[in-house]
Amino acid sequence: MAEAPKTTVHPEKARAAMFAAPELIVTDQHRVMCDGGGGALGHPRVWYDMGDEGFVDCGYCDRRFVARGGPLDPGAAGG
Ligand SMILES: [Zn+2]
């Protein structure tokens, strides 16, 4: 009897993976720092300024920093 391959994907993670952006970081800061989270996935520390757009993408790790209450803040939608 063959067993189905076991997956350890949590429902929350599977749900998050369906969103396009790798990671969305909502912040109050206008200037944001990113180092990829450190460790093996890290990258040199870089600073970004959101400017007037209310968001900025990290050129190293594709994280997206979003201004809290800005146009791309998911928590601000429907409020
Ligand atoms: Zn980064």
What's the gap in Å between 68 CA and the centre of ligand 1?
A: 18
Please give the model's pTM, rounded to 2 decimal places. 0.66
Which one, of 29, 25, 30, lies nearest residue 61 by Cα? 25
What's the gap in Å between 72 CA and the centre of ligand 1?
A: 18
Report the C-alpha gap between 12 and 18 in whole angstroms: 10
Q: What are the contacts of 30-38 at 24+ separation with CB within 8 A?
A: 30/67, 32/56, 32/65, 34/58, 34/60, 34/61, 34/63, 34/65, 36/60, 36/61, 36/63, 37/61
What's the gap in Å between 5 CA and the centre of ligand 1?
A: 33
At 22-64, the pLDDT tens digits run 689 999 999 999 999 878 878 999 999 998 999 999 999 989 9
The pLDDT of residue 23:
86
**20-67: which CATH number, 3.10.450.350, 3.40.718.10, 2.60.260.40, 3.30.2010.10?**
2.60.260.40
| Contact between residue 50 and residue 33 where contact means Cβ atoms under 8 Å apart | no
What's the gap in Å between 41 CA and the centre of ligand 1?
A: 9
